[in-house]
Structure 1
Amino acid sequence: MLTTEGQAGKVYELAGDSSYILTELAALISQKTGKPVVYQNLPEAEFEVVLISVGLPAGLAALLADSYVAAAKGALFDEGGVLGRLIGRGTTSVAESLG
């Protein structure tokens, strides 16, 4: 794709073919490991504090907390199927990725 003509200035969203929410991811991880994993939705400010408490720089923690909120509002959701078309097959689901 990068070496073909006419790509200058184009943006491709490389999302997978299927979406998931974090509670589903936690359940899948629990299922695969046999250990309880629980997703806990935190308010942005609280999440930022947690990130700082585990050693992230304040600026990065703020960026990640803001990104987390935007993602929760659907900012990363994409049904375009661009990645699957670019690689010539369907993408791997999160469940398949976890093995």
Structure 2
Amino acid sequence: MVSQPATVNLTEIIYPESDGKPMANNTEQFNWIVAIEQNLEWLFADNSNVFVAGDLFWYPVEGKPHIVNAPDVLVVLGRPKGKRGSYLQWKEDGISPSEWGAILVL
């Protein structure tokens, strides 16, 4: 007896890491973003479970790349430091950026 393999429809969902837009509208805004991000890095330098980033896409919902936020600076308590192309919340134990850090818009 011959059986057909199950059809697998693998549609890869793309979560862009860039929108092609500049990070800041002007030099003063850029300087504030850098200063705030750097100071938060220094504040949490001794805590390996605080992730701080600037100008990073945050995707809170898997499978829905149109739901995206790009805070100027974000802080995630309970996640390790490290490099990320974007913040995929479902791959980060479901931990969202801290409210006070994620909603920082200059």
Shared topology, TM-score over 0.5?
no
**Where on the TM-score scale, by shorter chain, does this alignment land: which range?**
under 0.3
Structure of greater relative contact order (alpha carbons < 8 Å, 6+ residues apart): 1
